[in-house]
Structure formats: C-alpha cells, structure tokens
Structure 1
C-alpha cells in the first residue's frame, strides 16, 4: 500500500495528513504534544480502527507505547548509542534499518521488509512516501513511523537549544 504523509507546517499541533497517491485522505492524526508527553491518535477515515501513541515519561530514554483497543501492541524505545540512533520495537523483533536521520529507512521483520519510508525533498513542508506491504499492518507501521519522526524532531529541538555547542555539530554517521 502506497501512502503519503504530509506534515503541516503552520499548525500549532503536530499535524500529519495521510493520503493515497491521488490525495484522498485515508487516516487522520490528531493529538497534542503535551509538555508532559506526546499523545496522538491515528484514525482510519472510513473505519473504526484507531491506534493511540503515548509517550511514557518515567523512562530515561524516549519510550512510546502504541495501543490498539486499549492494549499496548508495541513499545518503541530509543536505544542509547553515540554513533547512530537505533530503536527497539518491543515485543516484536522488528528492526529499523537505513538512515533514519535522512528519513530513508525500512522496517523489517527478520529479512522481510514491512515498510519503506522515503522523504521527498522537493516538496514544501515534509512529505514522506511510505510503502507498507501488508494491509493488516498499516496502522501499526504508520504509528511506528510517526514515533520515529517525533523522536527525531525532539532531538532536533534539543540540538537547537544547545546551539552553543555549534562546533560539535558535525555528525559522524
């Protein structure tokens, strides 16, 4: 399934719209980035399916719960590492491979690709081209992609706050 995710630039909330190639909206993302943690819901426009993303604040590293039908189906945890950003997606053994910072990565289950995310750099605002291979997994995969995006976005915000360390800004990837 081919999806396009646009981040709306001028909005007070983190707003994403999820459309197909023709621009029909398929999913709606609503939520607030609270000062005490992000909380979003991802809803199918013409269906009852909904997923919630909640940031778990008690933990030291960014940790997000992805809930469906009030059950936590995944927990996405940013792992601490100096050289690259990597994530655990629990309880699955799914892995994120590729360049997360360049927004070009895939989500894999072993060797099987579940989702491919590519950022389109030509567009105004951020547009991601997302391919999800299994219809059943569209919502969980989208939720994981949004979590990764939020974690990176928060990273960037924190880097801006540390602008004095500008000399340290060369990324060694």
Structure 2
C-alpha cells in the first residue's frame, strides 16, 4: 500500500524529537536521537512506544557509514560513495540505491531491480514547509524515514562546512 508521510522541514536534521505525520496529519512516528560522533544513533518509535527502526553512525571520517536496524535486527549499511559528478548512496544488504537531487530534497530510493521504494520531495502545507515521503510499501516506511534523516544530516553538514571560511594568517591576541 502506498503511503505518504510528512516531516517538518526544519526538524529533520535537528537534534530533537521529530514527529512524522501521515497524510491525515496524524502523528505516526517519533524520531529521537543525535548525530555527530561515532556511535550516535537516531531511533524511530511508533506512537505506542515500540522501536520500529534505528540508524547508528559506525564511522565518522571519509566514507561515513550508518547501520540500519529494523527493530533490533541489523538489515543494512548505508554508505556515501563519492563520485566525480555527484554523491551516490548505496544500502548494502537491502540492495537499495538513492538517486536524484539530494541538495533540493527531491530524490528516490530504488531497489537494484529498479522498483521504487520511496520518493522524497518538498511540500508546503498550511502549517509550514515539509518533506513529503511517498513510500510504496508501508513496511519500508521506518527504514526510509531513517535514510531520509541521514541524507538531510549529510546535506546540512556539507552546507555548514561550505559556509565556514578558514582564518588565514597569523594573529596576535
């Protein structure tokens, strides 16, 4: 069954509690956790308190890796594979690839056999700007939400580092 989920735009990469809502505006998931150092994790809970998915940062340096869990079972490893023209993302074990315009939050997740798993885009609603995640199979929704959070984190940090201007020269205090 195809479902659509909404995450408020300014909330996805924040170190905060983030509500994920369905197309009726009903809260369906709660995303909690933090990023930045090895071992940090985001956990996704159903509104009844059940842990449905999580993603854990396992390496922080070049070629960051994140392990994906469905419940408590490891189901995949998300890797950012650098390319000359663009970033390429691959999720081992699930055989998912992420393609599209990551910078503008318009991308899709595909299985290697070209079946679409999820499509991400931006949406403006009366209550603000949101990310819209259209997921083909409801069972994949928790993992897709975790992947979207990581991609937004990478994009946010990439922009933050591009805006940082190094201080050149010697100064005195």
> TM class by shorter-chain length?
0.7 to 0.9
Question: Could you list the runs of 5+ residues in structure 1 that have no partner in the other structure?
Answer: 165-173
Q: Is the 8 A contact 1:14 1:33 kept in 2?
A: no
The 5-angstrom pairing of residues 1-173 of structure 1 reads: 1-8=3-10, 13-36=15-38, 38-46=40-48, 48-57=50-59, 60-109=62-111, 110-120=113-123, 126-162=129-165
Question: Could you list the runs of 5+ residues in structure 2 that have no partner in the other structure?
Answer: 168-173
Q: 1:151 to 1:14 in 2, by over 3 A?
A: farther
The TM-score, its normalising length taken from structure 1, stands at 0.81
Structure (1 or 2) with the larger CA radius of gyration: 2
The TM-score, its normalising length taken from structure 2, stands at 0.81
Q: What RMSD in Å do the two structures reach over aligned CA positions? A: 2.6
Q: Is the 8 A contact 1:52 1:68 kept in 2?
A: yes
Q: Which has the higher contact order (CA 8 A, sep 6+)?
A: 2
1:48: Cα distance to partner? 2.4
Query: How many residue pairs get matched?
Result: 163
Distance 2:125 2:98 in 1: 24
